[in-house]
Structure 1
Amino acid sequence: MSKNRSIIHLDLDSFFVSVERVRDSRLNGRPLLVGGMGDRGVVAAASYETREYGVRSGMAMKVARQLCPQAIVIKGDASVYSKYSHEVTEIIQNRVPVFEKASVDEFYADLSGMDKFFGIRKFASELRQTIIKESGLPISFGLSQNKIVSKIATGEAKPNNERFIETGTEKDFLAPLSAGKIPMIGNKTFQKLMSLGIREIRTIQQMPVEMLESVLGKNGRTIWKRAHGIDEVPIIPFHERKSISAERTFNKDTIDMVKLKATLVGMAENLAYQLRRGNKLTSSISVKIRYSDFQTVTKHAKIAYTSADHILIPKIEELFRQLYTRRLLIRLIGIKYTGLVGGNYQINLFDDSEEMLNLYNSIDKIRNRFGEHSVVRAVTFGGTSVGRGENPFNGQPPVVLAHRHR
């Protein structure tokens, strides 16, 4: 690994909350929750003012309101947050040659070698100030020789600040911090470490790597390296064109709308599951039709970042209705999701309940264990929904869900 790398990690502070404050300055400094409004809603974002009461994102809104009754609650708007995310992306894209968009509100960039032209620290600070000035959103960054140390440094810089970690000082910077601040140490792993008396990163630094491996398995070595400030993960260059897609060519050209809808819904559902499995969101969808005379037509739509079936499927069906105008037999249909970024479907929770989140988690667990076609919507059952010739269920009957748009 080159010792001369300079990797910046930028993270928009309390992104959904900050966007709401840009839109309405009366919310500045006041406790604010963004998420589902009903008793079964979920907190998608919580302002710093609510956190001292024990509020955190992902908890039931009902519980959050009990903990912090004075909080203002706002139903989020995914399309607005997507717009601000695109704006910040453009600002970075216009100023940094190579960057990675890790999620809707998180970025990495490789600034290595920029000292030949101007100071990296100065450039990083000016980039942050430009984002704040042009978007109105607070943003923090960490700058070090690798992604992991920079990400942890950003966490220490927050809120709305910056932190530089000189090469060679990574271990000293990390040592006093909680072991839970190492990316990939979740709550369960942290509890296991605490039961062994490991609370600070310095304790991991003092342990033989083999001991950590015996406790945590194959992840032990990665965690040990991260505790020492060692990370070789490269920047993954951001391209809006990143995509996943599915197509179905029919054995016989068809105009059977039941069959066509079953195929569309099945492909949309399967691709949405692939997004969630890869912890991705899409911001653009397209539907393709090839008629029996081989004429091919495509229609695109920009959407708010999502990976939820119940949001994507109606959009896909709407695009198909707009596109299918010739009333000829159809030879092929296809779907593509583009503009992919990292991120879970917390962004979809503004009008969804905890029940919906739990349903997705349960369904995806079944699919992870028994295969991606082990759970299907009723509308696709019996149709050629998966876009493949073979039987996707391998002789096992799938779980069938009633098809219902919310």
Structure 2
Amino acid sequence: MNDRPAVLCLRFCRIGGGLPDSAAYEGLLALLGAFTPVVEAAPPGAALADVGGALRYFGQDAAGLASVIRVRALALHGVDCAIGAASNPMLARMAARQATAGTTFVVAPGEHAGFLASKPAAALDGVGAATARTLCGYGLDSIGRIAAAPLATLQRITGVRTGRELWERANGIDRTRVVPNAAARSIAAERSFPRDELDPEQHRRALLSLTEELGARLRGDGQVCRSLAVSVRYADRTGYATLTRSRTLAEPTAHSVALTSLAYRIQDSFALQRARVRGIGLRAEGLHDAERAAHQLTFDPVDERARRIEAVSDRLRARFGPGAVKPGRLAA
């Protein structure tokens, strides 16, 4: 553990609600770059910054520097920030989830145990629904209990590597670092509901609109992606929790049908059919040029027809705007 909080996690939101647009988001990343070169984008509305050097340069502590950044974000971009500050990226992300717009939540050195102890197992980075159920079945339903469990016990339950990672994270240890310029390898979008949404059909529609948007953006930029990550923010007994899970595509693609099919499978794996969902995010990862990507010919007339329709739709959107063509399921 470092001797003071030096990592900030910032969650951006426009005044009045909603995420910043892509131009404002890029401006916010540039703003952070004026404080530190170690900025990791987490689109569409968050970022990590290692400000260890900036703290010394500006003569501020983490909370003071966060206030300076917030004022500049408001003044220059009309965007407010909820900021978490801690000694490593994992704790900073968790602290940011505790913060509200206009506030900074600081996890000071030596306070991580108390901060983590009462949180449910699912709140820990890397713990999905299936792992949380397994841990709860052994009575390890909180991060504090995971931290107190013998390492060997966790490794018997979840495997050697996973067990060690769980034990370290539950004890506030995160060996990852803030990675500069990570945004170049991914693009993302998000849909937020005005209230907790219970209808699975609305969840499905939101995810479909996201795959259509990202597919069109990838094709417009001449790129394909290797994998997708779906994030679901939902209400639970402790407030709001976020689950994120990613999977690799059968082949790198920007084909919306393929993206939608995989995104639906990821969503189904969460087993949140009756969840009160507040927002759904989708991130396309492992981007590279479409010209270098190999496409496996299927000789499937349905697939070839879908790709021809997709190409025509892209031309119509380029001429008449992004809303010119959309799937019938989204037209209502």
Q: CA RMSD in A?
A: 4.0
3-state SS of 1:138 partner: strand
Q: 1 or 2 for the larger relative contact order (CA 8 Å, sep ≥6)?
A: 1
Equivalent residue number for residue 308 of structure 1? 214
2:40 corresponds to 1:100: yes
**Counterpart contact for 1:99–1:108, Cα < 8 Å:** yes
Shift in alpha-carbon separation, 1:306–1:113, aligned structure 2, 3 A: farther
Shift in alpha-carbon separation, 1:4–1:161, aligned structure 2, 3 A: closer
3-state SS of 1:210 partner: helix
**CA offset at residue 398 of structure 1?**
6.8
**Counterpart contact for 1:281–1:343, Cα < 8 Å:** no
Q: Give 1:359's aligned amino acid.
A: S
3-state SS of 1:140 partner: strand
Query: What is the distance in 2 between the residues matched to 1:165 and 1:116?
Result: 19
Shift in alpha-carbon separation, 1:159–1:356, aligned structure 2, 3 A: farther
2:136 corresponds to 1:136: no
Equivalent residue number for residue 210 of structure 1? 152
**Counterpart contact for 1:111–1:120, Cα < 8 Å:** no
Query: What is the distance in 2 between the residues matched to 1:178 and 1:364?
Result: 22
Shift in alpha-carbon separation, 1:206–1:97, aligned structure 2, 3 A: same
3-state SS of 1:185 partner: coil
**Structure 1 segments (4+ residues) deviating >6 Å:** 304-307, 354-357, 362-365
3-state SS of 2:126 partner: coil
**In terms of Rg, which structure is larger?**
1
2:123 corresponds to 1:221: no
Equivalent residue number for residue 10 of structure 2? 10
**CA offset at residue 204 of structure 1?**
0.4
Equivalent residue number for residue 119 of structure 1? 60
2:120 maps to which of 164, 178, 186: 178
3-state SS of 2:48 partner: strand
Equivalent residue number for residue 84 of structure 1? 24
**CA offset at residue 169 of structure 1?**
1.7
Q: Deviations over 1:79-99 (max 9, x none)?
A: x72122122222212233321
Equivalent residue number for residue 173 of structure 2? 230
Query: What is the distance in 1 between the residues matched to 2:181 and 2:147?
Result: 33
Q: Deviations over 1:171-207 (max 9, x none)?
A: 1211112222112112222222223222211110110
Shift in alpha-carbon separation, 1:398–1:387, aligned structure 2, 3 A: farther
Q: Deviations over 1:124-148 (max 9, x none)?
A: 2211232133322231111111111
2:261 maps to which of 359, 377, 393: 359
Shift in alpha-carbon separation, 1:135–1:392, aligned structure 2, 3 A: closer
For 1:254-265, what aligned pairs fall within 5 Å after superposition?
A: none
Q: Give 1:308's aligned amino acid.
A: L
Equivalent residue number for residue 277 of structure 1? none
Q: Which runs of 5+ in 2 are unaligned?
A: 190-209, 233-255, 268-289, 314-332
Shift in alpha-carbon separation, 1:363–1:116, aligned structure 2, 3 A: closer
Query: What is the distance in 1 between the residues matched to 2:108 and 2:218?
Result: 45
Query: What is the distance in 1 between the residues matched to 2:215 and 2:53?
Result: 44
3-state SS of 1:107 partner: strand
Query: What is the distance in 1 between the residues matched to 2:266 and 2:147?
Result: 36
Q: Deviations over 1:7-40 (max 9, x none)?
A: 111112xx4xx46x36xxxxxxxxxxx8xxxxxx
Shift in alpha-carbon separation, 1:311–1:360, aligned structure 2, 3 A: farther
**Counterpart contact for 1:178–1:201, Cα < 8 Å:** yes
**Counterpart contact for 2:6–2:50, Cα < 8 Å:** yes
**CA offset at residue 387 of structure 1?**
5.2
2:187 corresponds to 1:281: yes
3-state SS of 2:35 partner: coil
Query: What is the distance in 2 between the residues matched to 1:360 and 1:312?
Result: 16
**CA offset at residue 168 of structure 1?**
1.9
Query: What is the distance in 1 between the residues matched to 2:74 and 2:107?
Result: 22
Query: What is the distance in 2 between the residues matched to 1:307 and 1:232?
Result: 34
Matched residues, percent identical? 18
3-state SS of 1:125 partner: helix
Query: What is the distance in 2 between the residues matched to 1:224 and 1:153?
Result: 19
Query: What is the distance in 2 between the residues matched to 1:360 and 1:160?
Result: 36
Q: Give 2:41's aligned amino acid.
A: K
**Counterpart contact for 2:31–2:73, Cα < 8 Å:** yes
Shift in alpha-carbon separation, 1:398–1:156, aligned structure 2, 3 A: farther
**Which one has a larger percent helix, Structure 1 or Structure 2?**
2
**CA offset at residue 362 of structure 1?**
6.5
Query: What is the distance in 1 between the residues matched to 2:211 and 2:260?
Result: 20
Q: Give 1:204's aligned amino acid.
A: I
Equivalent residue number for residue 193 of structure 2? none
**CA offset at residue 310 of structure 1?**
4.3
**Counterpart contact for 1:282–1:337, Cα < 8 Å:** no
> How many residue pairs end up in the alignment?
237
